[in-house]
Amino acid sequence: ASTGLVALLGYPVEHSLSPLMQNAAFAATGLDLVYLAFAVTPSGLPAALAGLKALGFRGANITVPHKEAVIKYLDAIDPAAARIGAVNTIVNNDGRLTGYNTDASGFLRSLQEAGFNPAGKKAVILGAGGAARAVAFAVAGAGCAGLTIANRTLERAGHLAAALAGLSPPVKACTLEEEELRPRVEEADLVVNATSAGMAPMEGAVPLPAAWLNAGQWVYDLVYNPLETKLLREARQRGCRVISGLGMLLYQGAAAFTLWTGKAAPVEVMGEVLRKAIQDSHAA
């Protein structure tokens, strides 16, 4: 049989670590598959998807800015991905494209692996973009007892809160302003940064002052470069339990690998290449 192909469709894609992670996983499991990144503009998306079918790609990852727009071009969608309203993984079964969301399940797996179960707990999510959306559905679906969506742009937080209606306890939408957000953060069991604040090269930024955090709280930063953001460092110094975004990146990739191959993903190999690539990017 010829070499199987898996694509990453996004814009831009040059900085993605997924090709490195997935190709290492294919090599480690002895699978004759290759993962290739393609820069696809929004107007080019339908043709790119038709290309996946025409060229017999096994599947694809979909990233910014296509995760929502891709849905209308698919032949089928997994119910959880449909609820979330975003697809990051596609499987091609003989020309039939099915969409999945492994961001949400990957986030949840990394959270549980670290030892936190959201059931009955209060969570605050900072941000209301695509990543925040996956996290919010994951936490609400896992039975959290309270949920706050805080975003720089209030309107966007409101939209996400409305999308969650029925799936979770009432969701509060607010801005990142101290008056509104601080009391919510102080009573939270879990605080998740799903904004891009703190991401290299803006490592000095934090989405909220660490002084609002208390010992014993869990703080999860979706930003994975640097591996320990300023927020996580300060939270750790205050006695919080901290989780880096590397886990979500790894487990969304592991779940996608399994969807394409039907095999368990070599998560240790995948985690190791990610960690090394991020560390090397700082040493350079």
Q: Please name every residue paired with 4 in a beta bridge, in sequence order, or none if there are none.
A: 33
Task: Give the residue with the Cβ less far from ligand NDP, 33 or 194.
Answer: 194
Query: Is residue 21 at the binding interface for ligand NDP, with CB under 6 A as the rule?
Result: no
> Closest distance between ligand NDP and the C-beta of residue 162, in Å?
15
Q: What pairing do the DSSP bridges indicate for beta strands 89-93 and 96-100?
A: antiparallel
User: Which range of residues in 12-20, 41-49, 69-77, 122-130 is near ligand NDP by CB under 6 A?
Assistant: 122-130
Query: Is residue 131 at the binding interface for ligand NDP, with CB under 6 A as the rule?
Result: yes
72 given a catalytic annotation: no
- In the set 222, 243, 273, 274, which binds ligand NDP (CB under 6 A)? 222
Start-to-end Cα distance in the chain: 40
- In the range 32-91, which residues lie near ligand NDP by CB under 6 A? 64
C-alpha span between 196 and 60 (Å, rounded) = 24
Q: Tokens 């009573």, residue?
A: 187
Q: Pull the structure tokens for residue 159.
A: 């939209």
> Closest distance between ligand NDP and the C-beta of residue 55, in Å?
27
User: Which among 249, 248, 256 is positioned nearest to 91, based on CA atoms?
Assistant: 256
Query: Is residue 274 at the binding interface for ligand NDP, with CB under 6 A as the rule?
Result: no
Q: What pairing do the DSSP bridges indicate for beta strands 89-93 and 59-62?
A: antiparallel
What are φ and ψ of residue 126, in 5° steps? Answer: -95, 120
Query: Is residue 101 at the binding interface for ligand NDP, with CB under 6 A as the rule?
Result: no
Task: DSSP letter for 204, please.
Answer: T
Task: Give the residue with the Cβ less far from ligand NDP, 2 or 10.
Answer: 10
* Binding region for ligand NDP (CB under 6 A): 64, 103, 127-132, 151-153, 156, 194-197, 199, 205, 207, 222-224, 245, 248-249, 252
Give catalytic residues, as residue numbers. Answer: 67
